[in-house]
Amino acid sequence: MGRYRLTIGDKTFEVEVLGVQGEQARVLVNGRTYEVKYQPLTPGAALAPSAPARVTPPRPAAPARPAPPVSPPPEKPAAAAEPGEVMAPMPGCILDVLVKVGDRVQAGDTVVKLEAMKMENDLQTPIAGVVKEVRVSKGDNVSVGEVLVAVSA
């Protein structure tokens, strides 16, 4: 979408905007991927999905810190092939699997804990039902979009 070289003080950052959805962007900074939230500086000026993100350097007094990863809303996981699939919203490591095949779950129940970018993320089931498949175990490394748990209504 867009590549930038930013210099803040004496540090240089290679930044690539990988994708934009609403007011959230996925960026690659010096080889590390971050989910960031942005606000247009001009009222009514939002980024189109094909436009590069506007990158604003932090104030010199504050150290640059990435925004926490964004978990998908429980109602609808991003790009789910089936309504009851819980998918990895970002690459990471499985910290814990809280369900097993046959367990009953309610919509919004946390079924997997995923560590990504040193943050713990609770992944919830989008529907109520019975766990029909668990495809990961504690310690597994997962990729974006990988199905972790399947629930049938």
Contacts for 113 with CB less than 8 Å, ≥ 6 apart: 94, 95, 96, 98, 120, 121, 122, 123
Flag whether 117 is in a domain. yes
91 shares a domain with 61: no
Domain count, the chain: 2
pLDDT confidence of 100, banded at 50, 70, 90?
A: very high
Which of 40-54, 59-73, 77-91 has the least mean pLDDT?
Answer: 40-54
89 shares a domain with 57: no
Q: How much is the pTM? A: 0.48
